[in-house]
């Protein structure tokens, strides 16, 4: 049985509204959601919000918390992430939304993030290139497509589909998740409906289902690795055996030792 996740529910200032949105997600079949705290990147001294403790919101529903940096040409993602690295330790997942080709390339190849968001409310100002996308896939970074904007407005629907197809033409459905970016309960859709929507985005049937299940789980695991091990994989080199105790001895050598005794 698949475990469905929605890794982008916008954190509302109204606690009751946020609770209602998450409860709706649970009724629709999602076992895990992520509360998204959006940080605008226009100011270098932007305040990083502190996530509300999950225990104060829900008692039994499993939640991870995610922060998304919305960046532009006036403030690079790297400056924000580097400056607020201690603040981001409070979050389980870090996502970025690059708005220029330069920032998109850096996010794919350099930034220590878990998710790269694809624009949904406007036409992507650059074309996705194979080299940075393959680099992101090799590093275990995932690409997120959100569908709520497509529900709100017909023009945004065209942008969302066009930007998604642009991405799929390069990544071939690998390392893609589909999330809601919902701000209210009525903006949520069930996981099987989203899997069908993935077909419109250019995903295969298997990749569309993975985009709301196994790929989301991989994102959470990537976030855990980044937070606990800083993304570093340590290797252990076996010590060389002493010459007094060779690894392999021939039967003749063993016999000679016994005879000496």
Model pLDDT for residues 121-150, shown as the tens digit of each residue: 888 888 888 999 999 999 999 999 999 998
pLDDT at 63 over 60: yes
Contact (CB, 8 A) for 95 and 113: yes
d(CA 144, CA 139): 15
- What is the pLDDT averaged over residues 221-231? 71
What confidence score (pLDDT) does residue 3 get? 87
Taking all residues of the chain, what is their mean pLDDT, rounded to a whole number?
Answer: 78
pLDDT at 247 over 50: no
Closest CA to 2 of 214, 195, 193: 214
Which range, of 116-125, 143-152, 208-217, averages the lowest pLDDT? 116-125
CATH number of 4-229: 3.20.20.140
What confidence score (pLDDT) does residue 101 get? 87
d(CA 78, CA 177): 23
Calculate ∠ Cα 215-220-224, nearest 5°.
Answer: 140
What confidence score (pLDDT) does residue 61 get? 61
Sequence ranges of the domains in the chain: 4-229
- Beta strand extents in 41-175 (DSSP E only): 63-70, 93-97, 115-117, 142-146
Q: At what angle do helices 130-138 and 101-109 cross, to 10 degrees?
A: 30
pTM, full prediction: 0.78
Please identify which residue in the block is written with the tokens 């992507």.
Answer: 124
């Amino acid at each position: 049985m698949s475990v469905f996740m929605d890794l982008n529910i916008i954190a509302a200032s109204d606690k009751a509204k946020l609770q209602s949105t998450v409860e709706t997600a649970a009724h629709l079949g999602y076992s895990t959601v992520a509360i998204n705290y959006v940080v605008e990147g226009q100011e270098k001294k932007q305040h990083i919000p502190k996530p509300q403790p999950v225990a104060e919101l829900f008692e039994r529903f499993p939640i991870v918390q995610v922060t998304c940096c919305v960046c532009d040409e006036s403030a690079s993602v790297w400056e924000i992430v580097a400056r607020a690295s201690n603040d981001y330790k409070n979050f389980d997942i870090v996502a970025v939304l690059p708005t220029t080709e330069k920032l998109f390339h850096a996010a794919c190849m350099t930034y220590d993030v878990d998710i790269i968001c694809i624009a949904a409310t406007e036409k992507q100002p650059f074309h996705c290139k194979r080299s940075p996308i393959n680099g992101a896939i090799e590093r275990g970074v995932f690409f997120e497509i959100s569908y709520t904007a497509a529900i709100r407005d017909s023009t945004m629907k065209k942008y969302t589909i066009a930007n998604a197809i642009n991405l799929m033409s390069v990544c071939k459905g690998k390392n893609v998740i589909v999330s809601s970016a919902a701000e209210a309960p009525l903006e949520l859709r069930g996981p099987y409906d989203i899997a069908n929507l993935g077909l419109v985005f250019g995903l295969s049937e298997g990749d569309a289902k993975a985009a709301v299940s196994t790929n989301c789980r991989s994102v959470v695991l990537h976030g855990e690795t980044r937070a606990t091990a800083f993304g570093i994989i340590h290797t252990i080199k076996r010590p060389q055996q002493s010459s007094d105790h060779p690894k392999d001895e021939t039967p003749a050598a063993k016999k000679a030792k016994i005879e000496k005794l």
